[in-house]
Structure 1
């Protein structure tokens, strides 16, 4: 996957996330994609519920910082903002995406601090 297509995929993913458009967000995932954030791995087949619940409860937003393209593996540095308990929160994070045929097959999210603190 070339840099242009990779960056397009990542930006489409971020835009769908920020629009809370679960259908658009899931369109770039392989059907059996794995998503891990912190120590939690979303069970197979539950990505839709995971994202829908998160987007309703904490209204997260991502800001793109930079992308490191390793071909089939991409690292993306982001800033995430969200609301929890009526308070605005911000954290830096890195998302590692494994890619195959233009789709995300595996994601691992590394976040500074806690998503709910």
Structure 2
């Protein structure tokens, strides 16, 4: 396993554990998180992930990681419960890396988190 793939898997494991502090160690100080039209700058990542992890309980499974060196793509499935019903969606995360840390994450998600 490459160091880039290990980073992505650590990131996903930290997310699944609800461990925002461990997850934040994967980012550069000036990193950004982008999903849809929503962008979170580095100085707001801690609050963003702590708030999200306090209220959301999705689980991510890595399907595969494509290591392009400074750009890594992870195909994943996301599972969650909405109104008592189990749901699942595919997502792809594109990670830009700088010196072994995430400088930008762009998430492409199939469907709506509410559906």
Same fold (TM over 0.5): yes
Q: Corresponding residue for 1:24?
A: 22
Quick one: structure 1 residues 84 and 48, their matched pair in 2 at CA, closer, same or farther if it must change by over 3 Å?
Answer: farther
Question: CA RMSD, aligned part only?
Answer: 1.4
Does the CA contact (< 8 Å) of 1:73 and 1:99 recur in 2?
yes
Confirm whether residue 106 of structure 1 aligns to residue 95 of structure 2: no
- Cα shift at 1:25: 0.2
Aligned residues: 115
Confirm whether residue 61 of structure 1 aligns to residue 59 of structure 2: yes
C-alpha separation in 2, matches of 1:47 and 1:85: 28
Q: How does 1:85-104 map to 2 (within 5 A)?
A: 85-104=83-102
TM-score, normalised to structure 2's length? 0.92
Q: How does 1:28-67 map to 2 (within 5 A)?
A: 28-67=26-65
Q: Corresponding residue for 2:7?
A: 9
C-alpha separation in 1, matches of 2:42 and 2:103: 12
TM-score, normalised to structure 1's length? 0.91
C-alpha separation in 1, matches of 2:95 and 2:55: 24
Please identify runs of 4+ aligned residues in structure 1 that moved more than 3 A: 84-87
C-alpha separation in 1, matches of 2:82 and 2:30: 30
